[in-house]
Structure 1
Amino acid sequence: MKLTDWLLRGKPNVFVTEERLREALRHNPPDAPVLESLRRSCLVSTGTVDGHEVITLTPRSGPMGTEVIYLHGGVYVRPLVSAHWRIVEDLVEDLIRRTGATFVVPLYGLAPRYTADDAYRFLDTGYERVVQRAGDRPVFLAGDSCGAGLSVGLAIHCRNEGLRPPTGLILFSPWLDVTMTNPGIPALTKLDPMLAPAGFVAAGQDWAGGRSATDPLVGPLHDTLEKLPPITIHQRPRHPPARRREVRRQGTSRRHPRRPARLAHRHSRLRRGGPDPRSPPGPPRCGGPHQAERARLIITGRAEPRA
């Protein structure tokens, strides 16, 4: 993560003003290729859904049936960059290697050319294909920043449309409110070298398209957040707490304020029905029969029969 932080800090802040953002979007680079280090641990395949590329990372040791759909960040306007792949490598590779999960990375269309409605049509098709392939095995949604917000939005969409819900959500610093009206944001803006509210608001408006910025499919924080799958949130302490307060209020979330260096241990808490909200806060204890059983649950989606 230190390397990722350094890479991100070396980028110019294009979100300082709407004008600077518009100029930067004229020169958006293509999506970054999969890192060679990930190719060594995974078989990489690509396909298309509704004209958009979908990248699948399958463990070379063989898939175990669990599926994770990972949506990248970028404020809905920036492509997947090498820093995102390094986040995948740093935060997720353990989960692939140790649990046998297959990762699916859909490259959804970006604003202003595409809107949230376009993304949900694309993800509807992609999600259904993953669910069919998984059968009765777990299917998780994961994402960072706006991709985490989109993961929550997709879970809301599944709930509203009566679709099979994801087994759980794994969110990294989720952006859940594109209005950027949290009163704690201005004080933190000077601490952030790569992001700023003005560009975020413009990007959020583009992403909303014909919808309101407070539509739950655009800003999930404005939903009731009831009857959603269990949620695990990884977030740094300086991020405004109101971005996660309503999610936590539902009693199904767990916050890990420090970077989750070993997700295989953290996410062994994820049962078929998600993390146990009754578990005490703090990092999970590793080892022991209960931990082993929880690890089997995320890998297989089923508990071992008790003697």
Structure 2
Amino acid sequence: MSLTMDLTRALLRLRPNPFRTVASMRKSASRSRPDAPVPEALRRSFSVTADTVRGHEVIMLTPRTGGVTTDLVYTHGGAYIHPLLGVHWQIIAALIHGTGARVTVPLYGLAPEHTADDAYQFLEDVYRTVSERAGSAPVFLVGDSAGAGLAIGQAILYREKGIRAPNGLLLFSPWVDVTMSNPGIAAVTGLDPILAPEGLAAAGADWAGRRDITDPLVSPLFDTLESLPQTSIYQGVTTSSCPMRRSSQPRPRPLVPGWTYGSTPLHSTSSSLRRGPRKPAMRCIMRPTASPQGDQGRMSRTGPGLDWHPLSLQK
């Protein structure tokens, strides 16, 4: 780990963890804050437009030069209780610079006032509009943390409804199990300066609303995950959202038959997003293949959580 990351982690530990307890989570959620505005630097670099769908703002950023051949729909993280932050705009800007894609950012309602059902109605409307505008061009769903969970949930929903599937999913530390019941979480709780299982589980229950917390649209891990599009996952190893463990044991049966899980650069698995060679950060990639032979690692589910055997991670 670099000195910069060591310093960042040390500074984060000086701040109170809002998810340490249910009470601290509720206090954090009650502090109503607006979504971070689009920075002026991004407005200068990209064409920025806004619309309203079902009472929620939808922002679209389009490169000013070069033809747009790919659309991304980005759902931000925040445990379903926190709004879009300035750092999310940095991620979005990097995606546009790296891919040349047009990015649509739907600002969904947050818990406890809003639930997963509210979000999916809104996101489906947004996705249909983006897909119609894109025509035959590829459309990817992208998100971080809870927003990555929403990206997977959308793919599951559209599969069930027979709606055009996205061409791929790009996920950063996806939150796929709001029950937070994976026993492996305890091993990383003390290492994660931002998240903690008690508050996260309560936030997830609020988000579920009338749905069970194991409903695949709330906790995508409980879906079969079959017939989903090509998926790339970038995951840290000490976050509460996805505990992993190194293992030298024989590889288990894949979570999804016919899927392999290994370390592959983004630009070779998602050609529509390619813009020259990249040097990815720590990563683990999922992709469907015709044969499970020759993969570099597979993912299995051990109870309601993720367990990686072996880790094929690179820096």
Same fold (TM over 0.5): yes
Secondary structure of 2:38's counterpart equals coil
Q: Tell me which residue corresponds to 1:211.
A: 211
2:221 is matched by which residue type in structure 1? L
Q: 1:14 to 1:208 in 2, by over 3 A?
A: same
Q: How far apart, CA to CA, are the structure 1 residues paired with 2:204 and 2:253?
A: 20
Q: Tell me which residue corresponds to 1:155.
A: 155
Q: How far apart, CA to CA, are the structure 2 residues paired with 1:54 and 1:233?
A: 25
Mapped pair 1:59 → 2:77: no
Higher helix share: 1
Residue 240 (structure 1) aligned to one of 243, 263, 278: 243
2:116 is matched by which residue type in structure 1? A
Mapped pair 1:141 → 2:145: no
Q: How far apart, CA to CA, are the structure 2 residues paired with 1:234 and 1:30?
A: 28
Counterpart contact for 2:81–2:112, Cα < 8 Å = yes
* Residue identity (%): 51
Question: What is the CA RMSD across the aligned residues, in angstroms?
Answer: 2.9
Q: How far apart, CA to CA, are the structure 2 residues paired with 1:184 and 1:127?
A: 35
User: How many residue pairs align between the two structures?
Assistant: 269
**How far did 1:9 drift?**
5.4
Q: Tell me which residue corresponds to 1:285.
A: none
Secondary structure of 2:32's counterpart equals coil
| Aligned pairs for 1:65-84 within 5 A | 65-84=69-88
Structure 2 residue runs of 5 or longer lacking an equivalent are 246-251, 273-285, 298-315
Secondary structure of 2:103's counterpart equals strand
**How far did 1:60 drift?**
1.3
Residue 41 (structure 1) aligned to one of 41, 45, 66: 45
| Aligned pairs for 1:110-189 within 5 A | 110-189=110-189
**How far did 1:81 drift?**
1.1
The normalised TM-score by structure 1 is 0.79
Counterpart contact for 2:232–2:266, Cα < 8 Å = no
Counterpart contact for 2:262–2:295, Cα < 8 Å = no
Q: Between the two structures, name the one with larger relative contact order (CA 8 Å, sep ≥ 6).
A: 1
Counterpart contact for 1:140–1:169, Cα < 8 Å = yes
Counterpart contact for 2:92–2:103, Cα < 8 Å = no
**How far did 1:84 drift?**
2.1
Secondary structure of 1:195's counterpart equals coil
Q: How far apart, CA to CA, are the structure 2 residues paired with 1:66 and 1:8?
A: 36
Secondary structure of 2:49's counterpart equals strand
| Aligned pairs for 1:289-304 within 5 A | none
The 10-residue stretch of structure 1 (3-12 or 170-179) with the greater mean CA deviation from structure 2: 3-12
Structure 1 residue runs of 5 or longer lacking an equivalent are 258-264, 283-307
1:195-233 superposed Cα distances (whole Å, 9 cap, x missing partner): 111110110000000000000011000000111111111
Q: 1:219 to 1:64 in 2, by over 3 A?
A: same
**How far did 1:253 drift?**
6.1
Counterpart contact for 1:9–1:193, Cα < 8 Å = yes
Q: Tell me which residue corresponds to 1:22.
A: 26
Q: 1:160 to 1:88 in 2, by over 3 A?
A: same
**How far did 1:269 drift?**
2.5
Secondary structure of 1:103's counterpart equals strand
